[in-house]
Amino acid sequence: MEKIPSKTDDQGNPESETPDGPTDSHILSQIDQDEKGLVQKAGETAEISNIGWGHSPDQIEEPLVAGLSNEDLWMLIRRFDKQVYRVKARPDAPLQRLDLTRTDDDEFSPDKLRATLERFYITVVINLTSFIKHVYLISWLLDLLVPTMLATLLALVIYPPCRPLMFPPAPIALVDKDTGGVQKPKAGILGSHDSITGAPEKYKGEAAEQEASNLVASVASVAVGSAVGKHDQGVPDDAPLEDDLPDTMEIVANTADAQSAAHGKVPADSHDKTRQPMRQSVMDGANLAMQVVNDITDTYEKMGNALSATAPFPRLSPRLRLAAVLCPACLASMVTSSYVLMKSTTFIVGFVFFGDPVIRRGVKYLNRRFPKWQKVIELQNSLLKGIPTNAQLTVTLLRVGEANASPLPPPPNSQEKPPSRPTSLHHEELTLGATGEEIQEAALAKPDVDEHSKTEQTEKPHKRTLASGILGFFRGTTASGVESKRGIDRLRATVGSRHAKNRVGVLRHKGKMITPIGPVSFDARYKGKHGTVIIDSTKEPALLYFTTETPFNDVEVENRKAGSVLFTMPVTEIQEMRKLGGMGWKGKLVVGWALGSKEVVDGLLITGTKAGQTYQLTAMGTRNQLFNRLVAIDGQVWATC
């Protein structure tokens, strides 16, 4: 475990303060827990601890955070990296007492739609599929009265041990949704428990994430605008190939215009005044739909974290809050007759349809007396107040690491092929109406089919057709063009071109990792110059700076050579961070097609409070790691956008 100097008081002891912060996330991350993981144990010293950075997962034998397995922690961080790519500091804490909320002016874009749909699939669809496949256990409830169902919900909320009794755990892919019995997983082998196909995975949650990506890509192939969309990050202003390649959505629009022109119409704004308004209406509708899906997913995640809270969030109070709502409803249902229920329902429906004058006056009165009443009654600001989404839980855990001077290590990469062996099963815990042999047979891959397909592949040589030859020619030409462009950029960077400097080093061989990789020093480029971006936590507040040197132990900025430090910035002055694609989304498509052995290395744009305080770091293989540290290291209240 590597130790790096951290902040101490005048006597040389670790600083200790009463937990304080603008949100519950900041406060909870500083509270000392009875049960401690490696991160909390490391916080007992006065030095920053390097636990797990650059190490194999097998070398981390204990949980990093108490109450959460390392695989669950890495799954949260991995999904956080995909979901959050732009944050802004806001002046005050939101009503729900947790930051990392969405801004009100969040605009629609195809990349956000894709990320939202993938998150919805991973969070809601897979869990609801699991619930539906347990219907065979609760179908007898359908003929019972409402009080029994509410009492059942109440038991699930208040007494967690009854959950596995009512919903016995079983791999989703192994359960037949029609019969409740055993079925062969769609992937041909049971390689994961929490995915619909049962595909193999190297680390927990990866199969479900891959399912979400493939599902959205398949659906998007029908609607090309959301199909390729734009990349899930910001595009730098100087990204190469962005101006040379057409936009995907423009291709779709131009194709429709060509079809209209073939039928004798004039597809132009001057002749058709409905074009722009209808496009705007579609974009507004898509934005509204995206917000609705986001709200549904947020609510689902909050409900899950209320029922099964993760430290440092409280475990009992959220369940008691839900029980306080369900208990009166259960009692009321016992004394309410079907006649009263029907009359009440028809009255409410009629009032909503025909009581507009009364409703309008009531809303005006509330707006005048209680300006924020609409925000207050929102579920996230009332019943679910203080309960985190998965992203808010992740940023709190990242803050736990920072509060204990032990930043959480990044999730391990999974570039290697996942294992083809089936996942472990506890046959005695599965109640699928099948024997252990039947369950094992369904979980295992069919060896005869695999061997037959392998034999066919070896016996059948790849036939080179004219089309594949032409495609290979263009791929080679494109690859040569990209390499030539890189050479020109290097020459232009030497003579001082700002745009060319930002493109130096953005391509590298896949899987190549350049040190340092954190947690204090990160390999990067700034204005084309290779160096290291460092977080100096010995300062108060912590200082972020870039140097052309590569220090390993001594990270203090005063010990750098004269002229080697290109910028410094206190972390308290960071107002916005935005992940940038190294070549823009079009350039990535070209590189992925023509240069399969190479990958694009992305960057990070950091903006401060002062004018001109904008720094673009490029060619950062550890971009997400730096982003996560800066999000969690100080007391900013963040909003995603």
Query: Chain centroid to CA 259: how far?
Result: 39
Judged on CB neighbours under 10 Å (0-12, 13-18, 19+), 440 is middle
Note whether 203 and 411 are within 8 A (CB). yes
> 340 Cβ partners below 8 Å, 6+ apart?
none
Q: What is the mean pLDDT of residues 59-63?
A: 85
Query: Chain centroid to CA 369: how far?
Result: 39
Between the alpha carbon of residue 362 and those of residues 196, 357, 390, 416, the distances in Å are 48, 9, 37, 61
CA–CA dist 505, 543 (Å, integer): 26
Tell me, what's the pLDDT at 177?
A: 58
Question: pLDDT-based confidence at 256, cuts 50/70/90?
Answer: low
Using the predicted structure, report yes or no on whether residue 592 has a pLDDT greater than 60. no
Using the predicted structure, report yes or no on whether residue 227 has a pLDDT greater than 50. no
> 121 Cβ partners below 8 Å, 6+ apart?
208, 211, 212, 215, 216
Written as six digits, the tokens of 549 are 């040197």
Tell me, what's the pLDDT at 534?
A: 93
Torsions phi, psi for 556 (to 5 deg) = -70, 135
Using the predicted structure, report yes or no on whether residue 77 has a pLDDT greater than 50. yes
CA–CA dist 222, 499 (Å, integer): 36
Judged on CB neighbours under 10 Å (0-12, 13-18, 19+), 280 is exposed
526 forms beta bridges with 529, 617
The tokens 């090309």 sit on which residue?
224
CA–CA dist 100, 625 (Å, integer): 17
Between the alpha carbon of residue 483 and those of residues 244, 480, 508, 590, the distances in Å are 16, 5, 11, 12
Torsions phi, psi for 162 (to 5 deg) = -80, -10
Q: What is the mean pLDDT of residues 79-107?
A: 88
Using the predicted structure, report yes or no on whether residue 632 has a pLDDT greater than 70. yes
Between the alpha carbon of residue 587 and those of residues 493, 502, 506, the distances in Å are 19, 14, 11
Reply yes or no: is the peptide bond before residue 447 cis, omega within 30 of 0. no
Helices (H), 495-622: 498-501, 584-594
Written as six digits, the tokens of 65 are 């955070």
Report the percent of the chain where pLDDT is more than 70: 62
Using the predicted structure, report yes or no on whether residue 570 has a pLDDT greater than 50. yes
> 118 Cβ partners below 8 Å, 6+ apart?
82, 209, 212, 213, 215, 216
CA–CA dist 251, 242 (Å, integer): 14
> 302 Cβ partners below 8 Å, 6+ apart?
380, 384, 387, 388, 389
Q: What is the mean pLDDT of residues 223-245?
A: 51
CA–CA dist 122, 216 (Å, integer): 11
Tell me, what's the pLDDT at 235?
A: 57
Helix (H, G, I), strand (E, B) or coil at 536: strand
Tell me, what's the pLDDT at 466?
A: 56
Tell me, what's the pLDDT at 539?
A: 86
Judged on CB neighbours under 10 Å (0-12, 13-18, 19+), 175 is buried
Using the predicted structure, report yes or no on whether residue 88 has a pLDDT greater than 80. yes
Between the alpha carbon of residue 369 and those of residues 365, 374, 459, 535, the distances in Å are 6, 12, 80, 48
The tokens 């609510």 sit on which residue?
299
Tell me, what's the pLDDT at 484?
A: 58
CA–CA dist 446, 458 (Å, integer): 19
Written as six digits, the tokens of 91 are 């002046």
Q: What is the mean pLDDT of residues 210-227?
A: 60
State the number of CA atoms in the 13 A half-sphere of 33 facing the CB.
26
Question: pLDDT-based confidence at 276, cuts 50/70/90?
Answer: low
Helix (H, G, I), strand (E, B) or coil at 348: helix
Q: Helix 584-594 vs helix 466-494: angle between axes, to the nearest 10 degrees?
A: 130
The conformation of residue 567, written as its DSSP 8-state character, comes to: E
Give the length of the chain. 641
Note whether 98 and 271 are within 8 A (CB). no
Tell me, what's the pLDDT at 156?
A: 78
The total of other beta-carbon atoms located within 10 Å of residue 271's CB is 9
What is the biggest distance separating any 2 CA atoms in the chain, rounded to whole angstroms? 85
CA–CA dist 362, 43 (Å, integer): 54
> 400 Cβ partners below 8 Å, 6+ apart?
29, 39, 40, 65, 312, 408
The tokens 């108490």 sit on which residue?
66
User: What's the pTM value of the predicted model, to 2 decimals?
Assistant: 0.77
Averaged pLDDT score across all residues of the chain: 75
Torsions phi, psi for 48 (to 5 deg) = -75, 130
Note whether 80 and 394 are within 8 A (CB). yes
Q: What pLDDT, in 10s, does the model give residues 322-355?
A: 999 988 888 887 777 778 878 888 899 888 888 8
Helix (H, G, I), strand (E, B) or coil at 448: helix
Using the predicted structure, report yes or no on whether residue 296 has a pLDDT greater than 90. yes
CA–CA dist 594, 241 (Å, integer): 14
Q: What is the mean pLDDT of residues 242-253?
A: 55
> 51 Cβ partners below 8 Å, 6+ apart?
1, 38, 39, 42, 60, 64, 406, 409
Helices (H), 336-379: 338-354, 356-369, 373-376
The total of other beta-carbon atoms located within 10 Å of residue 21's CB is 17
CA–CA dist 325, 306 (Å, integer): 14
Using the predicted structure, report yes or no on whether residue 533 has a pLDDT greater than 90. yes
Q: What is the mean pLDDT of residues 163-168?
A: 69
Torsions phi, psi for 370 (to 5 deg) = -130, 85
